[in-house]
Amino acid sequence: MSDQISDRRAKLARLRTLGVEPYGGRFTGITSNAALRARGEQLNIEVGQVREEPAAQARAAGRVVLYRDIGSLIFMTIRDWTGEFQIGLSKKMLGDRAEVTAGLEQRPVRATGAEATASAADGGGADDGAAVAWKVAKLIDLGDFVGVDGRLGRTKTGELTLWADRFTILSKAVRPPPEKWHGLTDVEARYRRRYVDLFANPASRDVFIRRARIMDYMRGVLRERGFIEVDTPVLQPIYGGAAARPFQTHHNTLDMDLFLRISPELYLKRCLVGGLERVYEFARCFRNEGISPRHNPEFTMLELYQAYGDYHDMMDITEALIAGAARDVIGTLQVTFGGRTIDFTPPWPRRRYADLFATHVGFPLTDVAQARARARQLFEQKHLSVDERKADDEVVINALFEHYVEPHLVNPTFVVDYPAALCPLTRRDPADPSRALRFEVFASGMELGNAYSELNDPQVQHETFSRQLRGEEGETMAVMDEDYVEALEYGLPPAGGLGIGIDRLVMLLTGSGSIRDVILFPLQRPERTT
RNA sequence: GAGGGCGUAGCUCAGUCGGUAGAGCAACGGCCUUUUAAGCCGUGGGUCCUGGGUUCGAGUCCCAGCGCCCUCACCA
């Protein structure tokens, strides 16, 4: 047991002997720190002045992040999720205003006859209120939550300050916060105790606020375009819609093996069969694969489907969602990521898969012999895991595409005309059935999204499900799903579908180098193995 | 999975050639009515990730393990 924790527990007890409950309840009528600052500026307060008019009176609450005790004068910097603000307590001022210092009323959490939380002055006279408030302020530690009623003023050094007339503690932190200047920098600690990271590092907190705003923005765009948000199964008897190893689990009552979804695709398209013409889902997906700065075992994908549309409509929506989010949430279409500037200004270039291949690999993808030779070489140098001797042509070619082409796609780029064999859920190009009506969108060398003109011919679907590409070692989209084919037999309207990796998008838009920096609680091995 | 790096006080970090474990912040005691990472005086605080080994002696060297990070591979 650390000494600091014992010290703080001792203060907890002293607060209770003063009649103050250190874990308070409801506290209403708070003005946020950002709003206090705005109001303070508006009042044109002179240096050294404390204002008395009603507009200068306010209530604040927050976590104490700095504490400066000057004897008969205490300054605290409190932090809420809008920013920081200074509160000041003057022993003399509290005494002079004893009639208002009678403590802060705290309503009980429940109205069901529960006793009101003790306030600083309960059972005491006004004088006691001031004295108790002062004693409470002296017992404050960094990290405590406090509540203040006061008047806005400006100190001699010009700092906007809420001068306390009433003061109370709202929650005692018995563990000390990280160092006030550096915050919490240890990466492992930041992930394991994200709650500390969030309050100690405002930049971290802002990433998650922006993540939420990006998703809000996208919901707004989709709502305007007539989409509805749906929830489809995470637990699936057959996994599909992507190529990935799944997590497996078991339902006891049904005595049935289930998979955590690797994609929501096949269920969302069933919605279209049912006549829900525009649907989307922010789908948590699970893939039992490696962890890297760009891969987390669970991640969030926005997936959407639009009846009567095609993949060109999906390009339009992709630009609207991503460029719009950048503009709306980040305030710019040019973001810096990994030392490079990425320009999200639409329209984004469309590039053919075959052209990009020829440019960056150095020979046309029709030269299968050369592709195999190159892949063999990379495999032997352990730069590629695909063994061309065990893989079909398209798999070999795509491995080279990923290796050579993707790193070059820095600015947002739509890659089109994918080999149909790689796309078992995609409609074929009527002009050339070897190509699929699909695009993938890349930025900063990362795949950000994937879209199709959806395959709605049940017979073709049945065939592609039956054909398993070699070289994918069980990670194939072509898992036969009879129930899904049956759904198609009822009629899937022509449709465009799109998936966007939300975590990666948030990385790009917030300049976060690792996917773990945009996931609140990334998976970690247990800290204590004992 | 392979390679590399890191792990020391609550936090941020030093620790030389192998010789009794250090600083700042935080904490504790004291002073202070205008501080801004407040200041000044004083004090306490360690499973040096874990377990072995080498050595008279290990935070330091060696081995194994654990955790985290990075690179590569994987991830259509």
CATH classification of the domain holding A418: 3.30.930.10
Per the structure, the count of domains in chain A is 3
pLDDT at A219: 98
Shared domain for A16 and A148, answered yes or no, is yes
C-alpha angle A139-A143-A144 in degrees, rounded to nearest 5: 50
What's the Å distance between residue A382 CA and nucleotide B73 C1'?
7
Q: Do the domain assignments include residue A240? A: yes
For residue A522, which nucleotide's C1' is closest to its Cα?
A: B68
B54 C1' – A529 CA distance, angstroms?
Answer: 28
Residue A53, domain CATH:
2.40.50.140
Residues A415 and A401 reside in one and the same domain: no
Characterize the bridge pairing of strands A350-352 and A413-419.
Answer: parallel
The whole-number Å distance from A526's CA to B22's C1' is 31
Q: Is the ipTM of this complex over 0.90?
A: yes
In a domain, A465, yes or no: yes
The separation, in Å, between residue A490 CA and nucleotide B61 C1' comes to 73
Q: Residue at minimal CA–C1' distance from B40?
A: A70
Mean pLDDT of A72-98: 93
Q: Which residues contact A166 (CB under 8 A, 6 or more apart)?
A: A100, A101, A102, A103, A104, A120, A129, A133, A148, A149, A150
- The reported pLDDT for the residue numbered A115 is 33
Q: Report pTM.
A: 0.92
Looking at the fold, whether A206 and A308 belong to one and the same domain comes out as yes
**Own/partner pairs for A102-105, CB < 8 Å, 24+ apart?**
A102/A126, A102/A129, A102/A166, A103/A129, A103/A132, A103/A133, A103/A166, A103/A168, A104/A27, A104/A147, A104/A148, A104/A149, A104/A166, A104/A167, A104/A168
CA-to-C1' distance for A496 and B25, Å? Answer: 57
In a domain, A186, yes or no: no
Band of residue A117 on the pLDDT scale cut at 50, 70, 90: very low
Query: Cα–Cα distances in Å, from A284 out to A70, A235, A260, A298?
Result: 51, 11, 10, 7
Report residue A461 as tokens.
């679907």
Q: Are A229 and A213 in a shared domain? A: yes
Q: What is the pLDDT of residue A471?
A: 57
End of a domain among A146, A177, A208?
A177
Give domain status of residue A267, yes or no: yes
CA of A1 to C1' of B55 (A): 35
Q: How confident is the model at residue A529 (pLDDT cuts 50, 70, 90)?
A: very low
- pLDDT value at A119 more than 50: no
Same domain, A345 and A432: yes
Nearest to A14 by CA among A174, A108, A135: A135
Q: Which nucleotides of B are covered by protein (CB under 7 A)?
A: 1, 9-13, 24-28, 31-39, 44-45, 66-76
Residues A387 and A434 in one domain: no
Q: Which nucleotide is nearest to A91 (CA to C1')?
A: B33
pLDDT of A342-353, one tens digit each? 999 999 999 999
Which protein residue has its CA closest to C1' of B74? A290
What is the spatial order of strands in the sheet that A256-260 belongs to?
A: A235-236, A256-260, A248-251
A452 and A305 in a common domain: yes
- Per cent of chain A over pLDDT 70 is 91
The band of A118, judged by pLDDT with boundaries at 50, 70 and 90, is very low
| Span A421-448, average pLDDT | 94
On whether the CB atoms of residues A430 and A482 are closer than 8 A, the answer is no
A191 lies in a domain? Answer: no
Q: Do A397 and A417 fall into the same domain? A: no
- Residue nearest B31, CA–C1′ metric: A71
Note whether A330 and A237 are same-domain residues: yes
In angstroms, what is the C-alpha Rg of chain A? 30
Q: A478: pLDDT confidence band, cut at 50, 70 and 90?
A: low
Whether residue A127 is found in the same domain as residue A235: no
Task: Report how far apart, in Å, the C-alpha atoms of A314 and of each of A189, A303, A422, A444, A449 are.
Answer: 40, 11, 19, 20, 10
**A367 in the same domain as A233:** no
Domain holding A208, by residue range, is 196-349+411-517
* Nearest nucleotide (C1') to alpha carbon of A93: B33
Are A320 and A269 in a shared domain? yes
The more confidently predicted of residues A170 and A104 is: A170
CB burial of residue A48 (10 Å; 0-12, 13-18, 19+): exposed
A526 domain residue, yes or no: no
Residue nearest to nucleotide B44 (CA to C1'): A3
